[in-house]
């Protein structure tokens, strides 16, 4: 009898361990940064604890989750979360707050970003209840000084980010580079309208990217799509303040951007709406651009600007547009320079478009 009890007790004691090791693939193992030494008091540098937790998770066989628990503030700096991971998919649950160090405490590293996630496939980030605070205000005074961004997702395939809140990046908030297949939904990015270069999203050299149902208030572009990007869908974005949703600037070196669809977005108190920017005098070809179903008001009355430079732009379609001037007694205007295309049901009517 004595030996039976001992046996039962031993089995009960070791069984949680067995589950972890043997239920690989069916169990989602949690890697809580607290268990790897993170303090979460907002003062202690928790970077090493995050890196250890990430590495353990990334080496795990089955689906696993890096947990940043609620009700704590984690200070991290220049953190590289590197893959590839062993499992085909990994998750990050951000329930607590991540803060950047103050400007003076920023560690000059080779990473000019608070968090870089690189070479990870099948990544899911759920930021419900959490926040990333870039602590940017001290950096904004010097516009020409190098400043870190908050999150770079680099060389990743099949990424899904939901319910992420971010505020006050020193520079851009989320930079997606070299990724194929990424969806961002219910992202809330907020920085003051006069904070310099605080883009919401920068997308470069990426394909099949979807940004949807999000709120972006910044001092620069809500979304900027640059060279080497294609099949980018942006829907249901409330943008403003900010500079609008932009493609470019293009043409500093050879780059192409194609198949970009921006739908059902609002621009409130933005300096621009939907725009394409190119470097002047560099013969960038802009063609097959459709603006349809856009209505609203323009503060200075210049509702539509199609300034195409010497090489001209072709296949511009304006359809069902109604933009009125905020200035009483002054009607909205359209400016064209070497722009070729058609305007239907468009106010201002853009008779300056060339055939």
Given 175, 243, 295, 340, the catalytic residue: 243
Across 47-76, b (16+ Cβ under 10 Å) vs e yields bebbbbbbeebbebebbbbbbbbeebbbbb
- Nearer to ligand NAG among residue 188 and residue 322 (C-beta): 188
- Nearer to ligand NAG among residue 235 and residue 272 (C-beta): 235
- Nearer to ligand NAG among residue 92 and residue 167 (C-beta): 167
Phi/psi at 53 (5° precision): -65, -45
110 three-state secondary structure:
coil
- Nearer to ligand NAG among residue 233 and residue 337 (C-beta): 233
The residue at minimum Cβ distance from ligand NAG is 236
Please name every residue paired with 164 in a beta bridge, in sequence order, or none if there are none: 187
Binding stretches for ligand NAG (CB under 6 A): 165, 167, 188, 190, 210, 213, 215, 233, 236, 238, 261, 264, 331, 349, 351
In angstroms, give the least distance from the CB of 140 to ligand NAG: 17
H-run or E-run covering 53: helix 47-59
In angstroms, give the least distance from the CB of 353 to ligand NAG: 11
Sign of CA dihedral 126, 130, 131, 132: negative
In angstroms, give the least distance from the CB of 139 to ligand NAG: 18
- Nearer to ligand NAG among residue 9 and residue 345 (C-beta): 345
DSSP summary character for residue 34: G
243: annotated active-site residue: yes
Phi/psi at 98 (5° precision): -110, 130
Are 134 and 101 in contact by the 8 Å Cβ rule? The answer is: no
Beta strand pairing status for 274-278 and 245-250?
A: parallel
The token pair that represents 205 in the structure block: 């050299």
Are 60 and 27 in contact by the 8 Å Cβ rule? The answer is: no
Active site residues: 243
């Amino acid at each position: 009898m004595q030996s039976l009890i001992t046996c039962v007790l031993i089995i009960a004691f070791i069984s949680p361990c067995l589950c972890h090791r043997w239920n690989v693939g069916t169990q989602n193992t949690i890697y809580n940064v607290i268990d790897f030494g993170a303090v979460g008091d907002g003062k202690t540098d928790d970077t090493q604890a995050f890196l250890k937790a990430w590495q353990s998770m990334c080496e795990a066989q089955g689906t696993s989750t890096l947990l940043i628990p609620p009700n704590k503030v984690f200070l991290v700096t220049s953190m590289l979360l590197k893959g590839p991971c062993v499992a085909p998919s990994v998750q990050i649950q951000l329930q607590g707050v991540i803060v950047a160090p103050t400007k003076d405490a920023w560690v000059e590293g080779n990473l000019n970003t608070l968090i870089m996630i690189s070479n990870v496939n099948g990544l899911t980030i759920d930021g419900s209840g959490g926040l990333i605070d870039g602590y940017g205000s001290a950096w904004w005074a010097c516009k020409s000084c190098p400043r870190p961004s908050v999150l770079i997702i680099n060389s990743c395939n099949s990424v899904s980010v939901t319910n992420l809140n971010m505020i006050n990046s020193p520079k851009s908030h989320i930079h997606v580079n070299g990724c194929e297949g990424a969806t961002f939904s219910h992202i809330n990015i907020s920085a003051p309208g006069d904070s310099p270069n605080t883009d919401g999203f920068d997308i470069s050299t990426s394909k099949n990217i979807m940004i949807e149902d999000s709120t972006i208030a910044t001092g620069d572009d809500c979304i900027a799509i640059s060279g080497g990007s294609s099949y980018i869908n942006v829907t249901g974005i409330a943008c403003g303040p900010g500079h609008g949703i932009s493609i470019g600037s293009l043409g500093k070196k050879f780059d192409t951007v194609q198949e970009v669809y921006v739908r059902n977005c609002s621009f409130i108190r933005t300096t621009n709406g939907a725009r394409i920017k190119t470097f002047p005098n560099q013969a960038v070809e802009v063609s097959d651009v459709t603006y349809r179903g856009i209505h609203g008001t323009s503060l200075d009355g210049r509702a539509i600007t199609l300034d195409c430079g010497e090489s001209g732009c072709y296949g511009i379609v304006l359809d069902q547009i109604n933009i009125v001037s905020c200035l009483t007694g002054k009607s909205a205007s359209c400016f064209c320079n070497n722009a070729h295309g058609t305007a239907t049901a468009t106010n201002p009517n853009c008779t300056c478009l060339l055939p």
